[in-house]
Amino acid sequence: MSLFKRIIGLEQKVEQPSEQPVADETAAEALVAEAAAPAAAEEVTEEAAEAENAEDVTEEVAPEEEAEPELNKPLELYKVIRKKTEKSETVSRTQLLFQPPEGLEKEDVTALLDSLNGEERPEELKDITFVKGRKDVWYYDGTIMTPHYAELYSMIQEKDLLHTIASVARSDSHLYPLVTSFRKLMDVPFRMTEDELLGAEARFMLSPEYEDIRTVTASNGVKGFYSTKYLTWAYADSLHEWYEVGMDENP
């Protein structure tokens, strides 16, 4: 588990990317192509080919014998998750159960999502991975989204402000190291308001769970959070001043 993952406190299961050489990833490519252009992709799937055959047959036989192509449920689920990932979003288990992909029942979704934990996972879902948040499990396509981003995005969706700020501040303080500026938290993807941040600052002072989270203010008045587990005040002060003021004066 990476340093960031350890600090950020989100338990997660990241599926390793396929070890197959790129040239062999035809299945993934076909799926990606299909997600992007379903009509074209359907022409090359077995199911679609069968459907086409069925249509040919239909012209010759009675209409009541027309067979519905069987829905590829794992593929439908994959498409929904993939589409979200392409929009730089993760999707929660709750959301998927509450609004199952078309043609799937809640039970189908439950079974498919549960299969991601075991060896029986369908081929169509091999790129799907997830992070466990405090309130939910969040799914995404690991071939185009990093676990880091998925963690951040999911945490933001869970709207546990103190947990989010503390997790990011601990990670920033340890990893880079740097102080997590209010500016960072007010920008995408966090989009917190100044009032929220000032409120959090006050609540951190009262919470034993977050007793290591403190603020420092640069000479331009911009505040930032840091963790005393990793930075002393003097160190945090110097780093924050450099990021907020020094860097701008010494471009």
Partner 1 sequence: MTTYGWTGSLLRINLTNQTSSIESSSKYFSYIGGKGMANRIVYDEVPMGIDPIAPESKVVLAVGPNTASSAPTSGRTTISFLSPFTKGNAIVDAHIGGDIGVQVKQCGYDAVIIEGESAAPVYVYVNDDKVSFVDASNLWGKTTSDTTAEVTKATQPGTAVLSIGPAGESLLNLSCVITGVAHCGGAGSGKLFGAKKLKALAFCGTKAVKLADVKAVKALNDYVIGDLMGSNNNHVVPTVAQSWSEYENSGSRWTGHPGMTWGAAEGGPIDTGESAPGQPTLIGYRCQKAVKDHGAIAEKYTVKMTGCATCPIRCYGGVDVPQLEKTWGVKGSHANTCLGNRGCGFNGLVSNVADVDEKGDGAFMAGIYAAIKVDDAGLWDNYGELAATLKYFMANDNAYMKQVLTEEEYNAIDWSKSANGDLTFIDDIIACLCNPNHSMRNLAMGAYYVDQKYHDIVGDDYLNSSAIGLWGVMGGKRHHGNECAAQVGWLTNTIYNRDGMCHTIVNITGSGLPYEIQKRIIEDIFGEGALDAPNNYTKMNANKAKFAKFGVVRQVMHDSLTLCNWVWPMTFSPRKERGYKGDLSVEAQYMSAVTGAAVTEKELDDAAERVIQLSRAMTVLAYGTNDMRNEHDTPAGFIVTPDEGKPLYQPGTNKLDAEDVQDALTMFYKEFGWDEKLGCPTRATLEKFNLADVADDLESKGLLPA
State the residues that interact with partner 1 by CB under 8 A: 3-4, 85, 88, 144-146, 148-149, 152-153, 175-178, 181, 183-184, 187-189, 231-232, 234-235, 237-239, 242-243, 246-247, 249-251
Start-to-end C-alpha separation, the chain: 36
Shortest distance (Å) from residue 152 CB to partner 1: 5
Shortest distance (Å) from residue 235 CB to partner 1: 4
Question: Nearer to partner 1 by C-beta: 124 or 237?
Answer: 237
> How many Å separate Cα 91 from the centre of its chain?
7
Shortest distance (Å) from residue 140 CB to partner 1: 8
Measured between alpha carbons, how far is residue 64 from residues 48, 59, 61, 71, 101 in Å?
A: 20, 11, 9, 19, 28
Question: Nearer to partner 1 by C-beta: 28 or 109?
Answer: 28
CA distance linking residue 79 with residue 45, whole number of Å: 15
Question: Nearer to partner 1 by C-beta: 124 or 151?
Answer: 151
CA distance linking residue 120 with residue 195, whole number of Å: 48
Question: Nearer to partner 1 by C-beta: 24 or 55?
Answer: 24
Question: Nearer to partner 1 by C-beta: 9 or 149?
Answer: 149
DSSP character at residue 245 = I
Gyration radius (Cα) of the chain, Å: 24
**Residue in the block written with tokens 């794992």:** 74
Q: Return the H-helix or E-strand segment holding 85.
A: helix 73-86
Shortest distance (Å) from residue 102 CB to partner 1: 25
Shortest distance (Å) from residue 98 CB to partner 1: 24
DSSP-derived 3-state class of residue 130: strand
Shortest distance (Å) from residue 7 CB to partner 1: 11
Question: Nearer to partner 1 by C-beta: 98 or 233?
Answer: 233
97 with 109: CB under 8 angstroms?
A: yes
